Each structure stands twice: as C-alpha cells, then as structure tokens.
Chains A and B, each alone.
Chain A
C-alpha cells in the first residue's frame, strides 16, 4: 500500500504542472482579451488573389453584430 505515497506524489505533481501552465497563460496575457479571438476565428482564409468583390446582397451576416 505504500504505493499510495507515490500516487499522491504523482497527482500533486500533475496538479502543479497545470498550475504552472495557468501562471504561464496569465503572464503571457492570454486572459487580457477574451473577446476578440471569438471574432478572429470567424475570418475566412482567402484563396490566392483575394475574394471577388462583394455586392449588397452578398452578405451572409447582414444586420448581424453591430
């Protein structure tokens, strides 16, 4: 049963790794702006040469976010 010392040691070590990861994320400013990435992810990747110019009707998100 003395394996329990080893197991607890492991579990605390893993928890410490996550705590360290959280500190790293915090220090590199990943929590500073939590809104803009949600906009950024929706931008389309463009084919070479750019997209054709849009028209008035060609706007899937018309009337959307203001």
Chain B
C-alpha cells in the first residue's frame, strides 16, 4: 500500500484532515467521494482520474429522493423518446466541468450494461442516455448518476422542455443558400465587369440569365423574413429597419429582371445576393444566445417535480400540476411546500430564505397557513392545500399583470433611426425622379429612383448594431456578466437608477464569517462539532466547518427541535446549541451582534455565542462611490434593519434605504421610481426579488453559482464580478456611442452612393463594390472600436 501523498481528497480535491476514509492508498474527504471511487474501481474505470486531477465534486450529504420517477405519468413527461425496448432521456447535470466528466458520462455503459449509449454536451451540461427500459428504470438510471456524483437536476421546467429546443437551423439554411448564390453569381458577373471580347459576347446573355436564376432563391427563400417583418411593421403603421431593406431587395430584383429580360443591362444579381447574405450573417450574430444559461426561469425550476400526496392509508407521488385544493401532502425534511397550505400535523419550521432572504426558519403551529416556496426543516409535516400552485402567494408574482411582458422589445437605436430613414429615402428618390421627368428624360427618371432605393438600402446600418452589440456581449461574457440578448446592452446604457437587494447581492453568501465570543476549550469544541454534525441546519454545518474537527466522536440521545436548537450527549457531557430562547439567555447578556447567532451550553453552563455574518462583497464602498455620481442608488431588503447604520455610511445621503420589504413592496417601489421617469435597474438574487426584477427596466440577477437557480431577468452577474459593475455600466454607454459613430460612417457611404444614384449614372459594378466595401468597413470599425472601449475600462483581461 502506497503512502498517502497529499492531504487533499483524491476524488474532489477538498482538504482532508486525519481522514478515516482511505482506499488503495488514496485519501478521501467523505464517504460520498470514497464510494464513487469504489464504484468506478469495481468497473475498472479508474481512468476517470487520469483526465483531470480531482475531477469529482463533493456531494451534499442529504440525498434527494427519486421515487417519484417510478410514476409512469411523470417519467413519461421527462423522457425524450420511448418505444417498447429503448428509452432516450436527456437531463441537465450542473456539475459537469471537465474532460473527465465527459469521459465518465460517455462510458456509462461499462457501469450499467442496460445503458446502450450516452452522449454528453459539455457546453449545455447535458447528457442524453439511451437505455433498455426492460433492464433499467428511469429511477435506476438517475440514481446511478447520483451515486457517481452526477446528480441530474430535474425540475418542472424540464418537464415542459420549454425553450430548450431553440434552434437557428432555419436561419443557417437561409445563410447557406444566400452564400451559395452569392459566390456563384459573383463568378458569373466577373466577365461582365472586366469586359468581354467580341466573340465572348455571345455568352453574356447566358451569364445574365444565370445571375437572375441565382437571385430568385435569395429573394424567395433567404430574404423572406425581411418581407414578412416589413409587412407586419407596415400593418401596425410603423416603419422598422426591415422596410427599407425589403424595399431595396425588391427593387434590386425587379430592376435586375427587367434589365436582363429586356437585354438592356446586366442587372444587380450579385449585389442582391451579397446584400441578403451579409444581412443574414448580421442577424445570426445578433441571435447568438447562451444555451447553458436560462433567463426565463421561474418558480417551476425551483419547485420539485413531484410531491407526496396522502391517499387514505397510503401515499403516492403526483406531479405538481395535479395538486388540487384540499389535497393532503406529506412534506419531508428539506422538501419545499409547493402551494399555499394549512399545517395539519407536525412541527413546521419553514426556511423562507429563498423567498424572503430571511435566514431564520419560521415556526408554524397547526392551522397556520404556510406560503408556497418555503422549505421544511426537521421532521416530516402534513399540510392541506388551500390554493392551486398557480394561484399561490408567491407564484402570483410572476403572473402579475402589472409586470412587464417578458418577451418585451427594447427600444433600440436602429428602430429609432428607421422611423426617419424610410421617409427620407423615399423623398430623395421621388425628388430625383421628378427632376429627370421635368428634364424630359423618363428613362433616367426610373433609373434614378431605383438606384436611390438600391444604394441607400441601409445594409451597413442594419449591421452596425448587431456587430457592435455582439462584440460587447462577448466582452461582458468574458467578465462573467451574462446578458440575455444584444438589445439588453442598449437597454443597460439607458439606466439612471440602481436598486439593490441586500442579502446575497451586496453581501456574499458564500463567504460567511464566524465569530465566537466566549471561552471554549478544545475538548468542548469537539463536543459541539459532534452535536452539530448530526444536524442538517445550515448554521450547524457552518459550525462544524468552523470547529475544524475531522472525525467527531459518537453522539447519543440526540434531539433536534427545529428552528430552535439541538440537544445531545457527547463524551459524557450534555451539549445544547441553539438560539437565545432555546438556551435561555436573557436579553441583556445576549450579544448584540449581527446575523444569525447560536449559543453554546455544555452541562448546563453557557459557554458563549457563535455569530455568523455575511460579509459585504469586496470593494463595496468603492463600487458605491464610483456609482454615486451618475446614478441614483437605493436599497430594498426583505431583511430587518439591523445593518442600517453600516449601509447608511456606505450609501450616499440621498439614497433611500428600505428594510422589511415584502416581494410585492419591492416591485411597487420600482414602479414608483419608474412613474417618476426613472430608468431603473434592479439587482437581486432570490425568488423574492423576482417581481422587482421583472418590473425593472433592467433586471440583474446576482448569483455566485451561475448554474444554480436565478430568477427571470435580463442579465446574470457572477458574484465574483460584482466589483466590475461600474465599469460594465460605463462600457455599455460607450458601446452605444460606437453604434452612433458607425451609423455616421454608413451615412457617409450612402451620401457618396446617392450622389451617383440621383444622377442616374450608377453602374452595376459601382454597386457591387460599394455595398461590400461599406459592410466590411462597418464590421471592422465596430469590432475594433468596441474592443478599444473595453480595453479603456480594463475589461479585456482574461477571466479572473
């Protein structure tokens, strides 16, 4: 047996104390990691550990129950495909993070022979498994994945598979057709442009007809979205940018067809194909989205897929959607109450931390209403549903008619400009035509009108926004600020007020600080750690970590009173850990600290108090100072006002700091700011901010793990990048300036082209050169200028 070389867990890389978990000379931090190693070892799959050092992730101790997957109704909704032999199941596994994960998940068939094949998508963190359903149930498969440390996240939103099948396949096919026609028609246009010898002229008509043939699929297939969009816009008496584009495309084709058929010229077939091709590429760039992030999440991805309904003597798992008023539900430890319900039996201690931001569990007695979204801590309870899931206190926030429709359109620069563009374009064209009619040259009049509509076609303008914004988007992405779409960048630049949530937004939930006041010798410290190790409460887990005892001694006579404390006997001493009321500490001796507190009592003697506080995010004061000049800053918190003094000193004097705000209060506050003409950006993290995030002009969900739940929003900000917020806001404003400048450039090109067009002397060659030249200028300018702005704000460094 080799010597243990490192004091880190072989599986997950976490620190290992004097570990008792050891196999084949490898140390493990916990039983979970060790058992994964043993499972893999049994199937000769240690290769897993070759692809990455410590490829595993530590698993939470409390395993999720998957018995609901045995219900055919639920399983049927989750699988992609099922016949009498095979089932195909796709699931989202958040812990996928390295090449070893891909290797293991694609070699599942070696662990479980019933698996036919499995395919991993690294970016989407998804696995598609095909398995023989006669030999393995869906539950068996999910439990296998959970056992090897890859527990799938199964939520209601997966059941519905909403928006997961988003595909750009249609657009890509259109680009392919346009590109194909563009290349071929360019080739066929070269003889025309370079001039042909007399004997070659016999082919000219053939080349022209070929060109016309190539522009036909571009007009009818690739360009159809522009006509559809222009038509819709006209029906609403509005002019979007697609109106002049569709007009340009149509005029290009009509004039080409007329010139070719009448034999008077070569037409503009190659310009037409090139125009549509570049426009579609711009549209493709703009539609780029993050497949691995969801901005449309709502309560359904937080709620469980199934609940246990009590039926007579027995119980059964039912899908959430089937819950009816009057149903009796069994809520076990750590399960979520899915609908507003009355407590029927048991001691309820409900953790509403996700809903309200308040970390203390709330005690409920029989007959009290428990609002949906709370998590039961402690023994199982029985509740009776009083409202349907969709009508519950919390879920109504999403269905609130006052909130903005989620598929809203931001007012973008190109939309604003196009209001004026089309009338100006038509005016110039008609004026040129009228001039030549008056001069007695009707042939030239038509040439001038069509030339104006062709040359002024706002191709460069249509491309300036997509290319600028998508460059900006990828720079934000590099800094772990994920915006929903390109239009959101422009929206961010208009913001003039910022409203913060406190817990989880200004303070960092991951780095809790423990403070101990009192006197605790090492022997007692071990006792406290042992008592707390048996508890599931977040505070207990923090205390265990704080105590730093790796192998706690056995605990006897253990009692946990949910929401109050624990009571146990360790090495002959009675240990009690809990809140002030539980221990019996009077108000005056209670420490006046902030955050959650737990008192320690050993053999009837109070030994001290541990308080846990969430520290502010690093650099908070500097962030607020940087923002205070340009933005109105406010705070709405669901928490109590105990930290008001600290915050008051951080925030500017005119800031409005509100505490004890219900979710609805937050939303109403944002609305009142908007009614005063403010453009409000809300920063929040929890489900309790969801209404406010939706109401705000721009909602940013701050999250320390971007793959975990975050409410519906316009952008997700990684907690580690929080201090870059002022720079993000300034960068967004610069990006909008870049769009304005590139618009100026495209107008210059248009003016040059127009001067030829009104004279009626525009040649096909001129159009064929000017159009791609202006397009490429715009693409290069916007990309370079946007990156220059990013460099100015120091946003180009690699990920921290």
A residues with CB within 8 A of B = 1, 4-5, 8, 11-12, 15-16, 19, 22-23, 26-27, 31-33, 35-36, 39-40, 42-44, 46, 49-51, 53-59, 61-66
Contacts and interface: CB of A to CB of B under 8 A. Distances in A.
A33 B414 CA distance: 32
B80 interface: no
A31 B120 contact: no
Interface stretch (B97-105, B501-509, B700-708): B97-105
B177 interface: yes
A59 B169 CA distance: 40
B613 interface: no
Contact of B46 (A19, A22, A31, A54): A54
B123 A33 contact: yes
Q: By CB atoms of chain B within 10 A, which of A11, A39, A51 has the most?
A: A39
A22 B176 contact: yes
Contacts of A39: 99, 102, 122
Nearest to A58: B50
A51 B103 CA distance: 14
Interface string B11-38: 0000000000000101000000000000
Interface in B157-189: 167, 169, 172-173, 176-177, 180, 183-184, 187-188
A43 B46 contact: no
A6 B124 CA distance: 48
Given A40-B102, A56-B10, A66-B97, 10 more contacts: A8-B210, A19-B180, A26-B172, A26-B176, A27-B169, A33-B122, A51-B46, A56-B6, A59-B50, A59-B52
Interface of B: 2, 5-6, 10, 24, 26, 41, 44-47, 49-53, 97-99, 102-103, 106, 120-124, 167, 169, 172-173, 176-177, 180, 183-184, 187-188, 199-200, 203, 206, 210
Nearest to A16: B180
Contacts of B52: 59, 61, 64-66
Given A35-B122, A36-B102, A12 B184 contact: yes
Contacts of B184: 11-12, 15
A26 B173 contact: yes
A36 B172 contact: no
Contact of B99 (A32, A42, A53): A42
29 contacts: A1-B203, A8-B210, A15-B184, A16-B180, A19-B176, A22-B176, A26-B173, A27-B169, A32-B121, A32-B167, A33-B124, A36-B121, A36-B123, A39-B99, A40-B102, A43-B99, A44-B50, A50-B44, A50-B45, A50-B47, A51-B46, A51-B47, A54-B47, A56-B5, A57-B5, A58-B50, A62-B53, A64-B52, A65-B52
A55 B49 CA distance: 9
B50 A51 contact: yes
A53 B173 CA distance: 48
A15 B167 CA distance: 25
B50 A19 contact: no
A57 to B, nearest CB: 7
B203 A4 contact: yes
Nearest to A53: B46
A23 B103 CA distance: 30
Nearest to B214: A12
Contacts of A8: 188, 210
Contacts, number: 92
A4 to B, nearest CB: 6
Contact of A65 (B98, B187, B203): B98
B531 to A, nearest CB: 35
For the complex, would chain B's binding face be called helix, strand, loop or mixed by DSSP majority?
helix
A35 B123 CA distance: 7
Ranked 7 nearest A-B pairs via Cβ: A50-B44, A36-B122, A53-B46, A39-B99, A62-B53, A56-B5, A33-B121
Nearest to B24: A53
B466 to A, nearest CB: 20
A62 B13 CA distance: 12
B51 A61 contact: yes
B123 A15 contact: no
B177 A40 contact: no
B44 A40 contact: no
Contacts of A62: 53
A46 B47 contact: yes
Contacts of B187: 11
Contacts of B210: 8
B172 A15 contact: no
A11 B188 CA distance: 11
A32 B24 CA distance: 41
Contacts of B50: 44, 51, 54, 58-59
A57 B26 CA distance: 12
Given A26-B169, A33-B121, A36-B123, A66 B176 contact: no
A47 to B, nearest CB: 11
Nearest to B203: A4
Contacts of A42: 99
Contacts of A22: 176
B161 to A, nearest CB: 16
A55 B2 contact: yes
B176 A23 contact: yes
B121 A5 contact: no
Given A26-B172, A33-B121, A39-B102, A15 B180 contact: yes
A34 B120 CA distance: 12
Contacts of A19: 176-177, 180
A39 B52 CA distance: 12
Contacts of A26: 169, 172-173, 176
A59 B122 contact: no
Q: By CB atoms of chain A within 10 A, which of B2, B50, B123, B173 has the most?
A: B50
A50 to B, nearest CB: 4
A15 B98 contact: no
Contacts of A63: 53
A52 to B, nearest CB: 8
Nearest to B177: A19
Contacts of A36: 102, 120-123
A53 B26 CA distance: 11
Nearest to A50: B44
A54 B183 CA distance: 54
B21 to A, nearest CB: 16
A59 B50 CA distance: 6
A55 B47 CA distance: 11
A39 B124 CA distance: 14
Contacts of B180: 15-16, 19
B37 to A, nearest CB: 10
Nearest to B6: A56
B19 to A, nearest CB: 15
Contacts of A59: 49-50, 52-53
Nearest to A27: B169
Nearest to B183: A15
Contacts of A16: 180
Contacts of A11: 184, 187
A49 B46 CA distance: 12
A32 B643 CA distance: 49
A66 B121 contact: no
Nearest to B101: A39
A35 B122 CA distance: 7
Nearest to B199: A1
B296 to A, nearest CB: 20
A54 to B, nearest CB: 5
A35 B200 CA distance: 50
B103 A43 contact: yes
Q: By CB atoms of chain A within 10 A, which of B47, B97, B172 has the most?
A: B47
A43 B107 CA distance: 11
Nearest to B172: A26
B528 to A, nearest CB: 34
Contacts of B53: 59, 61-63
